[in-house]
């Protein structure tokens, strides 16, 4: 097996045993990037010199500390492991563009908390991955710079908005990556690229240094090749952060302890509202087959209802644009980022924002500004917040009956680049099964569960209650170990 094809935990075992060095591993991944990224276009910024320097430091520290092999529970679980970071998360001294011209030259003076925690765990930071502009999109076609391509079929999208991170993991251009999930932006690209994507509970992971799209929905997540890697990365980035007022001050159990493989007696809910007309038949068939596998493993399959599911899409596209409208008001050409001088201050605002933002961002700012405007606030934004409470209540009642809820991650497999760019509604429907998790603030994970006739991956979503990461990881791991979907690699 090529070094770039290793899982994170496989690489860590080889590093700890002294069979490979961090420099060898990092160089192998950099060579892989050089070989395939002209086709995939997963990265916006690469930092090869800094990455190799971090790898050399990891090798020196491992030898100096006598960590070959490493003791159980070592404090630096990612020492020497090459990781990528979505380009909407601040990295000190490395450009952070949010996939937007308006931040094209922005270099943050500090690291986001999640990046600081990666570094503290010994990770090697390879660079920044492509994203839909300000994370607004389902295909990574809304990046101001270029679209990312799906490694399974270069004519198709990798999903979005964390499409760069998902494509990088799938193509062997990193061993794991950080993404963000506001309405499915970790889980849906993970499904399209045939990998694991974990969206933690809102507040489980710090948002400090995450450039905001919709503050009550955004959450940093992880993209990996298997469930074990997702648990390892979650252990590193989860936990209370006093710099984030929405961060939960709750204990963080060791996520790898959940990976028992035993789900006998667990109750798995199947929401009738998530199997709808218009779904790709192969997607439904693959998820139904996965449910049968879970039953074979000893789980009890229970039908549940989430009656307000139909309202999730309109509710999301009122709340998220409203919060985006407020959050993106700071990009005015005065304090930082792009500045295009006009004949007056107002003209400078118009010129900067008009030329700095792309069409999807402008569309959502206008939607959000309208929803918040005088005379419409109560009718739209306030009503959407009330329905959001009903959606959360649906999940609360369902989790009184079951341990997890299982459904498709997306109604289709990856679509062709350009196929939906002229039809925003069809694009938004790509996230119809993932939006509710963010509205309810709960956790969810995508795992591969099959392929369609075109050889494109199909994803299954396992949803759990707030702070239920241990439970969804347990179910995901049991299914993964009973199947081989996660071992498949794209032909690129």
The first and second tokens of residue 10, run together, are 């496989």
Q: Annotated catalytic residue: which of 185, 247, 325, 410?
A: 185
Q: Annotated catalytic residue: which of 161, 165, 206, 325?
A: 161
Which conformational region is residue 278 in: left (phi greater than 0), alpha (psi within -120 to 50 degrees), or beta?
A: left
Contacts 24+ apart (CB under 8 A), 247-250: 247/203, 247/206, 247/207, 247/208, 248/201, 248/203, 248/204, 248/467, 250/204, 250/467
Strand pairing of 457-464 and 443-451? Answer: antiparallel
Torsions phi, psi for 44 (to 5 deg): -95, -40
Active-site residue 436, yes or no?
no
Number of Cβ atoms within 10 Å of the Cβ of 216: 17
Active-site residue 420, yes or no?
no
Q: Tokens 């995450």 label which residue?
A: 210
CA 83, chain centre distance (Å): 14
Number of Cβ atoms within 10 Å of the Cβ of 273: 17
Q: Annotated catalytic residue: which of 86, 128, 199, 420?
A: 86
Number of Cβ atoms within 10 Å of the Cβ of 21: 18
Active-site residue 161, yes or no?
yes
Q: Is 87 within 8 Å of 130 (Cβ atoms)?
A: yes
CA 312, chain centre distance (Å): 19
Residues assigned a catalytic role: 86, 161, 185
């Amino acid at each position: 097996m090529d070094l770039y094809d290793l899982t994170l935990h496989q690489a860590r075992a080889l590093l700890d045993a002294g069979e490979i060095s961090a420099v060898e591993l990092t160089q192998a991944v950099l060579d892989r990037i050089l070989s395939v990224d002209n086709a995939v276009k997963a990265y916006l910024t690469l930092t090869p010199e800094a990455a190799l320097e971090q790898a050399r430091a990891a090798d020196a520290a491992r030898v100096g500390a006598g960590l070959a092999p490493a003791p159980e529970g070592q404090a630096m679980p990612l020492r020497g492991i090459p990781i990528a970071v979505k380009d909407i998360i601040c990295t000190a001294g490395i450009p952070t563009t949010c996939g937007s011209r308006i931040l094209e030259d922005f270099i943050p003076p500090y690291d986001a908390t999640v990046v600081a925690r990666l570094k503290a765990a010994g990770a090697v930071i390879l660079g920044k991955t492509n994203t839909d502009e300000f994370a607004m999109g389902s295909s990574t076609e809304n990046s101001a710079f270029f679209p990312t391509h799906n490694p399974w079929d270069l004519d198709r999208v990798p999903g979005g908005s964390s499409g760069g991170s998902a494509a990088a993991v799938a193509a062997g251009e990193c061993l794991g990556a950080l993404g963000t999930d506001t309405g499915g932006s970790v889980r849906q690209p993970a499904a399209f690229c045939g990998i694991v994507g974990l969206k933690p509970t809102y507040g489980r992971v710090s948002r400090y240094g995450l450039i905001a799209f919709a503050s009550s929905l955004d959450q940093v997540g992880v993209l990996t090749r298997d469930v074990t890697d997702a648990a390892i990365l979650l252990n590193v980035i989860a936990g209370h952060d006093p710099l984030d007022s929405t961060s939960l001050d709750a204990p963080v159990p060791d996520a790898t302890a959940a990976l028992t493989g035993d789900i006998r007696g667990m109750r798995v809910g199947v929401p009738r509202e998530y199997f709808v007309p218009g779904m790709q038949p192969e997607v439904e068939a693959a998820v139904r087959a996965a449910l049968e596998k879970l039953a074979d493993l000893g789980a009890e399959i229970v039908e549940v209802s989430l009656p307000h599911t139909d309202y999730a899409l309109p509710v999301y596209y009122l709340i998220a644009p409203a919060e985006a409208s407020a959050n993106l008001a700071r990009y005015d050409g005065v304090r930082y980022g792009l500045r295009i001088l006009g004949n007056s201050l107002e003209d400078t605002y118009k010129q900067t924002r008009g030329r700095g933002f792309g069409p999807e961002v402008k569309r959502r700012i206008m939607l959000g500004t309208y929803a918040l405007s005088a005379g419409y606030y109560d009718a739209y934004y306030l009503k959407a917040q009330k329905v959001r409470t009903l959606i959360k209540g649906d999940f609360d009642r369902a989790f009184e009956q079951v341990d997890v809820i299982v459904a498709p991650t997306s109604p289709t497999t990856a679509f062709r680049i350009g196929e939906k760019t002229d039809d925003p509604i069809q694009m938004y429907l790509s996230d119809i099964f993932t939006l509710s998790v963010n509205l309810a603030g709960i956790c969810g994970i995508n795992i591969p569960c099959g392929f369609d006739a075109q050889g494109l991956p199909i994803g299954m979503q396992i949803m759990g209650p707030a702070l239920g990461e241990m439970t969804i990881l347990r179910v995901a791991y049991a299914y993964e170990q009973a199947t081989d979907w996660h071992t498949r690699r794209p032909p690129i």
